[in-house]
Amino acid sequence: MSTAITMASMSTYAILGCGSVGHAVAEELDAEGKDVLILDMDEGRVEALRDQDMDARTADIREASVAETIADRDVVLILSSDEEANEAAVENLRSRGGDQFVVARASDPVSADDLSESGADVVINPSAVIADSALRALETGELEYKAGQLAEVLDGTDGRLAILTSPGPDPDSIASAVALQAIAAARDVEADIVYEGEIGLQENRAFVNLLGIDLLSRSEVDLADYDTLALVDHSQAADPLDNRSVGVYIDHAEPDVEYDATFSDVRPSIAATSTILTKYIQEFDISLSEQVATALLYGIRAETLDFKRDTTPADLTAAAYLYPFVNHDTLEQVESPSMSAETLDVLAEAIRNREVKGSHLVSNAGFVRDRDALAQAAQHLLNLEGITTTAVFAIAEDTIYLAARSKDIRMNIGAVLEDAFGDIGEARGHSTDATVEIPLGIFTGIETSEDNRDTLLQLTEEAVRRKLFNAMGVETGDNGG
């Protein structure tokens, strides 16, 4: 038989002030068999507590002698509705020099600060606790209601469901699609995940390959073959959808174009769409496969830069829920893919051509075939000492591609690229990572040919560097190292 005794079982308690809050706490502790002493100045209340076989005594908790009366108690809960009395009780306890754990009741932020300064270990505000509990109940009820709406759309799908990711999908979009596919399968609805463009970045391709995620290119399918369309993490896509209506739309950001979806769940207060889908997985009580759990956790980590960008409590609780079901060896392989020879060449070229002004680095990688290597180069250059912002650009065919990264909390790199190139190119991204594509002809006014490649590169380099540094607020006349 175990002889271990928990700290909770050893503690003795004193409750000073036993109104409605104190009474509720006293009853709960008494039901757990705790040793509780209650002090209150209302004789009628004390008598009623004694009738419940509780150890209650009449006393004014503002009196210094009370501190002596409860000197042998481990935990003191000061719960009267009188702010001044509570503060006096805390001060009297602390003036004795004891090390009791003190919980005190406040009614507003000002009294809470006063109680903390007086020495309370924990300060609670019943109004705030009730409001927080009400909001949690509301969130639970709302999720249940939304899950019912989503189920109706899925159950009303007679044929197949097409789940469309964002064009050139990132891990958050792919993982969200995988989760919705699992929810659909649990309701006996077959679904295909459809993407447009290319799956860029080695990490993203490794993510799809290692987890065995089946994706169909938009060029391979006819949306008319699907009964229902679902869009996940699709906010930055202006997609005509072949004039089809949308059955399901789920995203963590407001869409650039308005979709009149039968079911819609958009939550800008959450950092990742994968977090929203994790909540639905939980609500539908679906058994998590290793593939879905690993995908969702990677989606959350990638979207929040491993919980360093715009992370909310909801993202953290979703990640904590997923963690036990994840294949961590696979996740490590996804996050650390081998670097291709071309990516290494692009990185080397970017290092050679870097220009640094203060903590900002801009570099030209020349002509490239794999434009996704630019993002990896920008990320690697961010590790250089003293560098907080990087931008790497290059020419591929007739387009200038630029990838930028920033760890400077004062800078929104997405806004910087929009400011610098939004009138001539398509910028997209976040405060910490962003990309832009600019038609080369519009930028230089010169038609691309083999004969003028060097001229185009020189014109591009000078103009891009100047526009970038100006948008970053850096004087372009300064010399960099």
Contacts of 178 (CB under 8 A, 6+ apart): 193, 211, 213, 291, 292, 295, 296
Classified as helix, coil or strand, 331 is helix
Average pLDDT of the chain?
85
Position 366 scores a pLDDT of: 84
The DSSP output letter for 336 is: S
Position 408 scores a pLDDT of: 83
Among 8-12, 195-199, 389-393, the minimum mean pLDDT is found in: 8-12
Among 219-228, 253-262, 323-332, the minimum mean pLDDT is found in: 253-262
Is-contact 395 457, C-beta < 8 A?
A: yes
The amino acid that residue 41 corresponds to is: M
Paired tokens of 307:
């919980």
Is-contact 133 156, C-beta < 8 A?
A: no
Position 325 scores a pLDDT of: 95
Whether pLDDT at 191 is above 50: yes
Position 463 scores a pLDDT of: 81
Question: Exposed, middle or buried by CB within 10 Å (0-12, 13-18, 19+), for 325?
Answer: middle
Helix (H) or strand (E) holding 457: helix 453-471
DSSP per residue over 425-450, as a string?
Answer: SEEEE-SSEEEEEEEHHHHHSS---G
Position 7 scores a pLDDT of: 42
CA distance 135 to 431: 29
Position 8 scores a pLDDT of: 47
Whether pLDDT at 222 is above 70: yes
Beta bridge partners of 426: 437
Residue among 394, 389, 194, 179 nearest 298 (CA): 179
Paired tokens of 323:
């963690």
Whether pLDDT at 2 is above 60: no
Mean pLDDT of 106-126: 88
Position 160 scores a pLDDT of: 93
Whether pLDDT at 449 is above 50: yes
Mean pLDDT of 416-421: 88
- Per cent of the chain over pLDDT 90 is 39
Q: In the structure, what pLDDT confidence band is assigned to residue 481 with cuts at 50, 70 and 90?
A: very low
Mean pLDDT of 58-72: 92
CA distance 45 to 168: 68
Q: In the structure, what pLDDT confidence band is assigned to residue 59 with cuts at 50, 70 and 90?
A: very high
Q: End-to-end CA distance of the chain: give it in Å, rounded.
A: 70
Residue among 461, 468, 478 nearest 436 (CA): 468
- Per cent of the chain over pLDDT 70 is 91
Position 219 scores a pLDDT of: 87
Give a three-class secondary structure readout of 401-416. EEEEEECCCCCCHHHH
Position 43 scores a pLDDT of: 92
Q: Is the dihedral of CA 392, 476, 444, 455 positive or negative?
A: negative
Whether pLDDT at 433 is above 50: yes
Helix (H) or strand (E) holding 160: none
Extended strands (E) in 33-160: 35-40, 55-58, 75-78, 101-105, 122-124
Position 307 scores a pLDDT of: 86
Contacts of 220-227 with CB under 8 Å at 24 or more apart are 221/162, 221/192, 221/194, 223/162, 223/194, 225/159, 225/160, 226/159, 226/160, 226/161, 226/162, 226/192, 227/157, 227/158, 227/159, 227/160, 227/161
The DSSP output letter for 288 is: P
Q: Is the dihedral of CA 386, 391, 394, 396 positive or negative?
A: positive
Torsion angle, CA of 346/350/353/354, rounded to 10 degrees?
Answer: 180
Whether pLDDT at 259 is above 90: no
Q: In the structure, what pLDDT confidence band is assigned to residue 237 with cuts at 50, 70 and 90?
A: low
Classified as helix, coil or strand, 13 is strand
Q: What is the largest CA-CA distance in the chain?
A: 100
Position 147 scores a pLDDT of: 92
Residues 17-37 have pLDDT tens digits of 988 888 989 999 988 889 999
Whether pLDDT at 3 is above 60: no
Whether pLDDT at 478 is above 70: no
The DSSP output letter for 273 is: H
